[in-house]
Amino acid sequence: MIPAFGEIAAIRERLFDLSDEQFAKLVGFMERTRDLSTGRSVSNEALDAMRPRLRVSRPPRRLNVERIFCRPFEDVLHSGPDQSWRAGRIARAAIEPCWAVVSQRIAPSLLAEIRRDIGELTVADLNWPLRFGPPLWTAARAAFDAILGEADADRAAHAALVGSLGGAAGEASFRLMARMLAIAEIVEELRYILSPKPLAALDISHAAAVSGQFKALAAAKATLWEPLAYFVIARMAEPIALARAYGGAACADAGLHFLGVTASKVTIADLGATLGELDAVVAGTPDAAAAVASRGEIAADQIAKLREGVRERKFTASMAEIDRMQQGLRDAVSRNVLEGTGSLIAGSLETAAPADDAAGEAARDALRQTAEARAHALWKCARFAGKIGMDRELAQTVKSVEDEAGQLVLDQIAALRRGSGRPDDDAIDSVQASLVHAVRVVELVAGPERANALRKRGFEAIERLRAA
């Protein structure tokens, strides 16, 4: 029986309740179901839900034709929420529509033969790429050539292709897949040399192997150097390391220089995409500040490295463009992390009285979590503020939040003490929860020493209230 969408939520929730053995059986069932046309989308959804456990338990995954097809470009796959195009990357979501188009042009007898030979083999079988890859990749290359040839020659065929791939981003992924498949055997050879992934830098033997492959593809430089560069970049921890090493005019090796230049372009494009996403973040939404702080930290680091690389003439890029990107990041931090922080944190502390009902309590908990997330974002931004020239703004906001949070909660305790008679336990518990929240906020913005001092002062006052 194929699980319904409601059951997928249950799978997600109880993912770690199963033993490894039970989980392996469930995975096997889902993978077999995926081979049926009726169960494909639900099984994919279920396997997606199971991914956190798959990463831990790693049951032997069943080999299938799609997996063999994807092998040449599996390093450049990205798991974005949609098919959005990113330079040198293919969205996982693009695999299914692309395979649907290509598989129609591959001889059914070949596919049936491969499926039969696969049998119960799993991806743990080390020989599968060499055994099943070449015949399928050759057939897929021919299919890509035919489809793209028709699309380039006929506008109606092109429109139909774009339609079946889900738009222009899908088409871009399709074209990159075609080019990656064209170098499938080279990629397979290089993968073993450029291991384990991710590499911090190419050593002499890595560089020689990569350079050799660029030379081997010199005749098809215009079309195949780029996918080869994308593959190498995807094996690296940071593409900018390649830009710094080979992007400068001093690099005499044409292939490696192309790799360096492509790496700088990919870095700038990735950075541009990140900043574009940060620009689109709606200020005030619960995760906005956290998203800007965590992605901003990486972006600030990349901007600094780009600037340094250009200054040192390690590679070429426009300084004006780098300045524009830095300004974009500053704006995102101001809009999403600094603005409204004081009022948000004050709002989360203002009412220390017990909530009237469960809904009121849940709303207050949510507000406190948002305030703590904002304080964490402030702490995180303070780490990279110096790189983008925002130290002063950050320091001012941090100071005001610290002062306000501490004062507000101590005032609440004092107000409770001033009231007539001994306050009831609910009121004391509620003000204690408010104190704990203030302590956590102060800890993030001003450090543990100040927060601990506030905790001690606050708890002593609360103990006195309880003892009264």
* 167-175, 329-337, 388-396, 443-451 -> range binding another protein (CB under 8 A): 443-451
In the set 5, 9, 10, 52, which binds another protein (CB under 8 A)? Answer: 52
| Closest separation in Å from C-beta 301 to another protein | 13
Q: Does 443 bind another protein (CB under 8 A)?
A: yes
In the set 151, 245, 440, 462, which binds another protein (CB under 8 A)? Answer: 440
Q: Does 19 bind another protein (CB under 8 A)?
A: yes
Q: Does 451 bind another protein (CB under 8 A)?
A: yes
Q: Does 376 bind another protein (CB under 8 A)?
A: yes
Assess contact for 334 and 283: CB atoms under 8 A: no
In the set 253, 365, 408, 410, which binds another protein (CB under 8 A)? Answer: 365
| Closest separation in Å from C-beta 431 to another protein | 13
| Residue 226 structure tokens | 């780029």
| Closest separation in Å from C-beta 382 to another protein | 10
| Closest separation in Å from C-beta 403 to another protein | 18
For the segment 410-439, give every residue that binds another protein (CB under 8 A): 432-433, 436-437, 439
Contacts of 168 (CB under 8 A, 6+ apart): 85, 162
Choose between 71 and 440: whose C-beta lies nearer to another protein. 440
Q: Does 444 bind another protein (CB under 8 A)?
A: yes
Whose CA is closest to 461, among 439, 437, 428, 438?
428
Choose between 253 and 301: whose C-beta lies nearer to another protein. 301
Q: Does 466 bind another protein (CB under 8 A)?
A: no
* 91-99, 272-280, 366-374, 402-410 -> range binding another protein (CB under 8 A): 366-374
| Closest separation in Å from C-beta 362 to another protein | 11
Q: Does 20 bind another protein (CB under 8 A)?
A: yes
* 157-165, 317-325, 326-334, 365-373 -> range binding another protein (CB under 8 A): 365-373
| Closest separation in Å from C-beta 169 to another protein | 26
For the segment 195-234, give every residue that binds another protein (CB under 8 A): 195-198
Choose between 257 and 376: whose C-beta lies nearer to another protein. 376
Assess contact for 354 and 429: CB atoms under 8 A: yes
Q: Does 242 bind another protein (CB under 8 A)?
A: no
Choose between 58 and 313: whose C-beta lies nearer to another protein. 58
* 83-91, 219-227, 334-342, 368-376 -> range binding another protein (CB under 8 A): 368-376
Q: Which residues pair with 122 in a beta bridge?
A: 62
| Closest separation in Å from C-beta 446 to another protein | 11
Phi, psi of 53 (to 5 degrees): -75, -35
Q: Does 71 bind another protein (CB under 8 A)?
A: no
In the set 368, 371, 409, 416, which binds another protein (CB under 8 A)? Answer: 368
Interacting residues with another protein (CB under 8 A): 16, 19-20, 52, 55-58, 195-198, 365, 368-369, 372, 376, 379-380, 432-433, 436-437, 439-440, 443-444, 447-449, 451-452, 455
